[in-house]
A = this chain, B = another copy of it.
Amino acid sequence: MDNFNHDSGRYERLGFPEIIFGQSKTVEDISHILQQFFKQEKNALITKLQHEKAKLFIEQYPNAFYDEVSELFILNRLKETNHNDQVAILSAGTSDIGIVNEAYYTLAFLNIGARRITDVGVAGVHRLTEKLEILKRFKVLIVVAGFEGLLPTVVGGLLPQPVIAVPASVGYGVAKGGKAALNSMLASCANGITVVNIDNGYGAAMAAVRILNTFKAL
């Protein structure tokens, strides 16, 4: 039984490497995968890697990076870069910071500049409107929101760029698990907003990468 069959042509085909989903893999599987990447002197990104598993690999690979809030693991710590910010990642409050960070570090891993703006909730809409000029400079807007998931709709009504909405599982009662935010975003009356799975900061980052890569090639 051979468990890991590296999709080596993915970079050529899609412009980004294969990335590992950590949540449901065993320690043995992840250990095996990391060794393959390490031997080939490639960097690796693992998403949703639980704390107890991450601990083992941080000890084993002293150069690794792990963000506790987003449970994101990178085999070789990233270098500080100075390139221009292309993506803004917005959220309503500090509760969604895990998802914001998953998007942020995924972009960093792929060498794309991004900025996190995490205090623009709509219950006080002026906190968003006073930042409009700054926001107009980004090429793609990733907007994270839990509870009723309003923020992407308001952003989409004020700004012309691509808006990738990420519902967060933050909330309780009908908001628990993120379905209320998800449906709110899908049903949004703001035109042309697109949506990814609940808590999928990683997927939002990859959608931004698809947009940026396509136009970089022109």
Binding site for B on A (CB under 8 A): 1-5, 7, 9-10, 13-16, 19, 21, 23-26, 29, 48, 69, 92-97, 116, 118-127, 129, 139-140, 146-150, 153-154, 156-164, 167, 169-200, 203-211, 213-215, 218
Nearest 3 pairs of A and B residues by beta carbon:
A192-B206, A173-B198, A5-B119
A4 cross-chain contacts in B, Cβ below 8 A: 94, 119
Q: Are A118 and B153 in contact (CB under 8 A)?
A: no
A48 cross-chain contacts in B, Cβ below 8 A: 172
User: Of B19, B94, B159, which one neighbours A29 at CB under 8 angstroms?
Assistant: B94
A157 cross-chain contacts in B, Cβ below 8 A: 14, 122-125
Q: Are B209 and A192 in contact (CB under 8 A)?
A: yes
Task: Name which of A19, A175, A209 has the most chain B CB atoms within 10 A of its CB.
Answer: A175
User: Of B3, B25, B193, which one neighbours A203 at CB under 8 angstroms?
Assistant: B193
